[in-house]
Amino acid sequence: MALIDVDSWQTEYDACIRLNDKIATELNQRTSTDLQASEYQNLSASIQVGLKQFANELQQLKYKLDVAAKNRSITFENIESRQTQVDTLQSQLQQLQAKVAKTSIQHNSRHGSSQPAVIASNGIEDLRQKQIQILEDQNRGLESLSQTISRQRELATQLGLEVEDQNDILDNLANTMDNVDTRVHIETSNIGELNRRENTCGYWIAIVILTVTNILVATLA
């Protein structure tokens, strides 16, 4: 079974890991109380772009894994390993999203306007929407994992049936060889018996000829 696009998968996975680390670093920087408003806004914009890019690249990895599993272009072990990697990235993305929402609320609380209650309410609503989105992403991830497991089970069943068919063919071949061997043994025995009969017949003919010759010699004498 050939392995395809292995380098591409690993490269994209490593890119997601680096992106996760970059976003986490920017989040830590954004929590600093010494930041100017412009610096905070620039970090927030970079974080949002990074989260979107992270989600898109993770979706590409999921798609490639699904195609590879359907085409049977990678082994069961690779499918399970890559699914674990995807699940880990999905969890990291959700943690980043939750932390972004939480730190945004905290920042708004510290730097609120004359309407802190409204800002807090909006922040809570944003957090609730983020949590809903995270739960939906988790459900999609679980559904994808369930589909992958179902395909693996189906492939395993098909492989088991193929093995059984091959075993039946081997059993029939063994029986055929046994039958051929038995026939060869019987025919060999028949040929040996025929040879013995032919030799015995030749001996009797020689004896008869010698006897007749002796009689003729005795008569002539």
CATH of the domain at 157: 1.20.58
221, part of any domain: no
**In the prediction, which pLDDT does 114 show?**
40
> Who's near 64: CB < 8 A, 6+ residues apart?
5, 8, 9, 12
20, part of any domain: yes
27, part of any domain: yes
**In the prediction, which pLDDT does 176 show?**
78
- Give pLDDT < 70 ranges for the chain: 1-7, 111-128, 131, 135, 138-139, 141-142, 144-146, 192-199, 202-203, 221
201, part of any domain: no
Q: 129: domain range?
A: 6-167
57, part of any domain: yes
Q: Which residue has the tokens 């029986």?
A: 175
180, part of any domain: no
131, part of any domain: yes
**In the prediction, which pLDDT does 198 show?**
62
210, part of any domain: no
**In the prediction, which pLDDT does 8 show?**
81
**In the prediction, which pLDDT does 186 show?**
80
> Who's near 54: CB < 8 A, 6+ residues apart?
16, 19, 20, 23, 89, 93, 96
Write down the pTM of the prediction: 0.48
Our count of domains for the chain comes to 1
**In the prediction, which pLDDT does 18 show?**
92
Report the alpha-carbon distance of residue 71 to residue 65 in Å, rounded.
Answer: 10
Tens digits of residue pLDDT in 15-62: 999 999 999 999 888 887 777 888 888 888 889 998 999 999 999 999
